Amino acid sequence: MRALSKVALLRPPTSDEQIAAMRSHVRDSAVDRPGVYRMISSDGEIVYVGKSKRVRSRLLSYFRAAFPEEKGARILRDAERIEWEYVPSEFAALLTELRLIKRFRPRFNVAMKRDGRNYCFIKVTKGPAPKLVVVRGPGVDDSAIYYGPFMGALGVSEAVRELNDVLGLRDCATDLRMNFADQPELFDAFPRTPGCIRFEVKKCLGPCVGGCTTQQYDHRLTLARAFLDGTDDGPIEHLRHEMQQASDRLEYERAALLRDKLKRLEALRGQFARLRFAVETLSFVYTVPGHEGADRIYLIRRGRVRAELDRPATGADAARLLGLIDEVFTPMERNTSQIPTHEIDELLLLSSWFRRFPGELERTSAAGNIAPLAAAS
Ligand code: SF4
């Protein structure tokens, strides 16, 4: 028996022993404060990142998984150690968790916790003849262009379908081969009709069957993007000009067709404006009370945290805060609905936070009203 114990001491710990050691570590060291934690495998990989208002309680709950196939139990089996750090508040924990997930992409954090019920985005796909797709948020191909957020995926999908029809953009399978008219070497290699009703009824330019050149398609896409951006009436002006030209040439049938398209686009402009979420409403200075007075100030502009710092304790700190406010809020920013992909999740997190806790808005101040706060500190 004694010899066996010696062997047991020399061999690597079993999974159960490892889990028991992690549980002891949490029991002995963790306290119930807001924080973020990382589950780390034996080769150093961060396999999971989480956050909690009460780190100790949350971590101990992992060890109570009833079934081995539960996510918590699976994470523990892959982990060799748990690390955590405390942050001043639940809001800080949420932000830190998001940033760590984006940085390390842990495999058990399969998807970002998006509030997908409320918002969607319009993605412009990459590749030849890009198309518009309504999505909940960015996927792994982070280099695509996104517009939004918009409210209500169904209404947005209908509006996008209409926009595609008016501008002749495609909406078929992303991997469908395109054959532009300016690819003469391919011209005989494909059928002249795609067997697609949208081409037949002139709702798509037909980039798959040489129905347009690359340049013609790109021009229509540029119009669509300007329209989605909400900053430009380009497509409407373009159609009005075309309609006038058709009328001048006495092409009344074409002019009537263009007039109908114009009306639909004008209606769509209003529709997109109603569906667009006003990110400008998420622009303010947000003071969050922290654990044991560790209050933190977040400078939020257009739904993204642009800077953060501890609540000023001295005159010099207050001056620094005012300087930062000036840096963040003074530069003019184009009021565009195109949003950098890497900022989408933070914007969704912030909008979801203030919707779940509307009372938190009382802790916010317009950037111009912050001088008394800074001076009083
Ligand atoms: S015409 Fe071709 S490119 Fe256009 S939607 Fe149909 S299949 Fe797609």
List residues near ligand 1 (CB under 6 A).
Answer: 170-172, 176, 194, 196, 198-199, 204, 206-208
- Return the closest-CA partner of residue 343 out of 309, 308, 310, 300: 300
Distance 165 CA to ligand 1 centre (A): 11
Place 341 in a pLDDT band, splitting at 50, 70 and 90. Answer: confident
Least confident among 12-16, 31-35, 71-75, 368-372: 368-372
pLDDT value at residue 232:
64
pLDDT tens by residue, 268-326: 777 777 777 778 889 999 999 998 888 999 999 988 999 999 999 999 999 999 999 99
**Cβ(87)–Cβ(295) below 8 Å:** no
For the entire predicted model, the pTM comes to 0.74
Ligand 1 atom nearest to 199, measured from its CA:
1
Residue, of 334 and 8, whose pLDDT is higher:
334
User: To test ligand 1's pocket by mutation, which of 132, 165, 167, 176 has the most ligand atoms within 8 angstroms of CB?
Assistant: 176
Is the model's pLDDT at 376 over the cut of 50? Answer: no
pLDDT in tens, 233-249: 677 887 788 889 999 99
Work out the pLDDT band at 264, boundaries 50, 70, 90: confident
CB burial class (10 A; 0-12, 13-18, 19+) of residue 192? exposed
Burial class (CB in 10 A: 0-12, 13-18, 19+), 366: exposed
| Nearest ligand 1 atom, CA 206 | 1
**How many other C-beta atoms are found inside a 10 Å radius of the C-beta of residue 184?**
9
Report how far ligand 1's centroid is from the alpha carbon of 227 (Å): 22
Residues facing residue 151 across a β-bridge: 119
Q: HSE (CB half, 13 Å, CA atoms) of 178?
A: 26
| CATH number assigned to the domain with residue range 15-104, chosen from the 4 options 3.20.20.70, 3.30.420.10, 3.40.50.200, 3.40.1440.10 | 3.40.1440.10
Q: 44-53, 257-266, 350-359: which has the minimum mean pLDDT?
A: 257-266
pLDDT exceeds 50 at position 345:
yes
Report CA(203)–ligand 1 centroid distance (Å): 9
Q: Cα 332–333–338 angle (5° rounding)?
A: 170
Q: Where in the chain is the domain with CATH 3.40.1440.10?
A: 15-104
pLDDT digits (tens, 9 = 90+) for 140-193: 656 788 888 888 888 888 889 888 998 899 999 988 889 888 876 655 555 566
